[in-house]
Amino acid sequence: MQLSKADLLRAYRMMKTIREFEERLHVEFATGEIPGFVHLYAGEEASATGFCMHLDGRDKIASTHRGHGHSIAKGCDVDAMMAEIYGKKAGLCGGKGGSMHIADLDKGMLGANGIVGGGPPLICGAGLAAKVLKTGGVAIAFVGDGGFNQGTTAESLNLASVWRLPCLFVVENNGYAEATSSKYSVSCDDFTDRAAAYSMPGIAVDGHDFFAVYEAAGEAIKRARSGGGPSLIEVKLNRYYGHFEGDAQTYRGVDEVKNIRATKDCLMLFRKRVEGAKLVDAAELNKIDADVLAQIENAVKKAKAAPKPTAADLMTDVYVSY
Amino acid sequence: MARKITYQQAINEALSQEMSRDPTVIIMGEDVAGGAGTDGEQEAWGGVLGVTKGLYKKFGDRVMDTPITESAFIGAAVGAATAGLRPVAELMFIDFMGVCLDQIFNQAAKFRYMFGGKAETPVVIRTMYGAGFRAAAQHSQCLYPVFTHIPGLKVVMPATPYDAKGLLIQAIRDNDPVIFCEHKVLYTLEGDVPEEPYTIPFGEASVVREGKDVTIVTLGRMVHMATDAADNLAKQGIKCEVIDLRTTSPIDEDTILESVENTGRLVVVDEAHPRCNIATDVSALVADKAFDSLKAPIKMVTGPHVPVPFSDVLEDLYIPNAAKIEAAVRSVMGKKG
């Protein structure tokens, strides 16, 4: 699949924005200023980006606890996301959702989800709506290796197959469901082994390689859009931080993350490839790095300064009418 | 023009009229058509009790049989509601909510609030509840208090064919998630129902019978038990005001409080188990806001704190009835026996 230079720059900016957003949150969380639970997506950027680069306004995604990357990739406003995570009224959800419930339905982002395995049934519904209303849209459930063991996921794979829905089920296998290895908790060697049980293609892809993800995603999305039904895609990748911020990660190898960062980092691999092939100058990518740093700095500054919700906000937004 | 049809026919008619009016209304559930994929009849059932019979013939693919996977299809209805459809999903028995509750109370109910007021989830979940079919512990419960507890859901339970049609049309047109609870014993009940579509607003109780001595607040099938009791009590000179809540979320506090302020006595009748049910909820409301009006302690008539039993003798003992309601009313009137 050919990517124009503009696409390459867009992909890099998307991945870099997610990375800086998460790296900065890691630092800010440690100061104690961010309330609640935060689950960072750093290390997994090529997955959200590789899929969402193919999507447009017709398409819907559902995410997981680890939802910041998907949100950014689907076009959610970065300032509003940051304000949300700080619990501010200017936040994407008015400070009522926080990190685990970041959503923007206008952008087709049906929400990060506090319930492991919460998203796949919703994505069947979004796919059904696209099919019934003939929008041409597709719907993607991003699920972790923990969530992919949930009954909701199994039921949804079956339903999507039976109804031939324009859905993708993407298992982002970072090797750990909380603190439990997928080697222990997953019954098969590869999640793609399960695809045959639901009569759909199962594709495994290296999630450190943006181009591999982009290609696999493109084929599955094309198939879904043209009425070919759902696909299961396993993206094998790594998370750079704990299950949540504050997780001491004593279950991980001593230099595990350090080694992955040094050898498999998706941003590093991307740069190596496009610079090596002389598709993009390093200077252009450096410029994006600088832009993104400034953007995140600005987002944090604004989020910190923004007012919190007031007592008047407590009881609103429960119902459309009551 | 009104004619007599059953509760079940009223529900079917509401669905049919709304599907004709609005192409985004779809139906999904286990055997809502029945027969999908078989060589036999393609609308063999029309729902396990035939409530949706005829709709598949009329609306084809907009009436969708599902696998028996409630999490997936209830969740799909919720997801589709966020994406432009107005699904009416049938959860065959309310007892099955345990296998899909997350999609209802953590997803559908909370989207609007969690997402800062930006989500609309116009989904209706129709479900059958209540004892009386000798269907035993896993097919007979009144779990509407569980849904009533959850902010973000609306909970509706019609007692008559007229209310069934008007409340269901309202539910389908409503932009919030609605749990629509149908009592299985009432499906064959006949009543006057206008042919043309109409809506009944949520949160407006129906004063089924006026009276000055005792207020009986009730809902669902128990409305009929309460009016039977009120008939008998009238012969003894005790005038009961019977209030059918029609919806438990929102709940019509004003009608309850006004009535109790007039009568000074309250009996609440609820088929559900006695703890944390609608009877306790209404009792707490009155104790909190109209205590000074009370001339006697509040009495509650409910099912007991046991699972619904199978044997007819035991199930009949389980279900509140007119005699139990009469005894409660006589008690608050200070009469023995």
Which ipTM value was assigned to this complex?
0.93
Annotated catalytic sites of B, by residue? 139
pLDDT tens-digit series, residues B154-195: 999 999 999 999 999 999 999 999 999 999 999 999 999 999
**What φ, ψ does residue A273 adopt, rounded to 5°?**
-70, -50
pLDDT for B337 equals 55
pLDDT-above-90 percentage for chain A:
99
Q: What is the mean pLDDT of residues B74-99?
A: 97
For residue A93, list chain B residues with Cβ-Cβ distance below 8 A.
114-116, 118
pLDDT tens-digit series, residues A250-262: 999 999 999 999 9
**In the structure, what pLDDT confidence band is assigned to residue B1 with cuts at 50, 70 and 90?**
confident
pLDDT tens-digit series, residues B12-27: 999 999 999 999 999 9
Average per-residue pLDDT in chain A?
97
Distance from CA of B66 to the nearest CA of A (A): 8
Rounded distance between C-alpha atoms, residue B115 and residue B277, angstroms? 30
Burial of residue B327 (number of CB atoms within 10 Å: 0-12, 13-18, 19+): middle
State the angle between helix axes of A151-162 and A119-133 in degrees (0 to 180), rounded to the nearest 10. Answer: 20
Tell me which of B71, B110, B174 to substitute to probe the interface with A (most A C-beta atoms closer than 10 Å). Answer: B71
CA nearest neighbour of B146 among B306, B273, B29, B268: B273
The number of CA neighbours under 13 Å toward the Cβ of B77 is 37
Q: Please, where are the H alpha helices in B264-305?
A: 278-289
Distance from CA of A1 to the nearest CA of B (A): 30
Poorest-confidence range of A132-136, B41-45, B218-222?
B41-45
SS (H, E, C) A202-219: EEEEECCCHHHHHHHHHH
DSSP string, B145-213: HHHHTSTT-EEE---SHHHHHHHHHHHHH-SS-EEEEEEGGGGG-EEEEESS-----TT--EEEE--SS
pLDDT tens-digit series, residues B37-84: 999 999 999 999 999 999 999 999 999 999 999 999 999 999 999 999
DSSP string, A201-268: -EEEEETT-HHHHHHHHHHHHHHHHTT---EEEEEE---SS-SSTT---TTS-TTHHHHHHHHH-HHH
As given in the structure block, the two tokens for residue A105 are 């339905």
pLDDT for A211 equals 98
Q: What is the mean pLDDT of residues B126-154?
A: 97
Distance from CA of B120 to the nearest CA of A (A): 7
Task: Tell me the Ramachandran region of residue B152: left when phi exceeds 0, alpha when psi lies from -120 to 50, beta otherwise.
Answer: left
For residue A104, list chain B residues with Cβ-Cβ distance below 8 A.
115, 118
Q: How many CB atoms lie within 10 A of CB B274?
A: 15
pTM of the model: 0.95
Contact across the interface for B71 and A321, Cβ inside 8 Å: no
pLDDT for A1 equals 67
State the angle between helix axes of A45-52 and A210-225 in degrees (0 to 180), rounded to the nearest 10. Answer: 40
Contact across the interface for A320 and B87, Cβ inside 8 Å: no
Task: Tell me the Ramachandran region of residue B202: left when phi exceeds 0, alpha when psi lies from -120 to 50, beta otherwise.
Answer: beta
Q: Considering only alpha carbons, which residue of chain B is nearest residue A126?
A: B80
Please state the domain extents for chain A: 5-313
Rounded distance between C-alpha atoms, residue A125 and residue A139, angstroms? 9
CA nearest neighbour of A123 among A99, A100, A142, A146: A142
Contact across the interface for B176 and A321, Cβ inside 8 Å: yes
Q: What's the CATH number of domain B2-194, 3.30.420.40, 3.40.50.970, 1.10.3720.10, 1.20.120.1200?
A: 3.40.50.970
Q: Considering only alpha carbons, which residue of chain A is nearest residue B177?
A: A319
As given in the structure block, the two tokens for residue B115 are 């997402």
pLDDT tens-digit series, residues A178-203: 999 999 999 999 999 999 999 999 99
Which H or E run contains A9? Answer: helix A5-30
Rounded distance between C-alpha atoms, residue B213 and residue B266, angstroms? 9
CA nearest neighbour of B308 among B271, B269, B268, B267: B271
DSSP string, A151-164: HHHHHHHHHHHHTT
Cis peptide bond N-terminal to B250, omega within 30: yes
Q: Considering only alpha carbons, which residue of chain A is nearest residue B252?
A: A322
Whether residue B336 has pLDDT greater than 80: no
Say if CB A109 and CB A64 are below 8 A apart.
no
The number of CA neighbours under 13 Å toward the Cβ of A247 is 20
Distance from CA of B68 to the nearest CA of A (A): 9
Topology of domain A5-313, CATH? Rossmann fold (3.40.50)
Tell me which of A155, A321, A322 to substitute to probe the interface with B (most B C-beta atoms closer than 10 Å). Answer: A155
Write down the CATH number for the domain with range B206-332.
3.40.50.920
Please state the domain extents for chain B: 2-194, 206-332
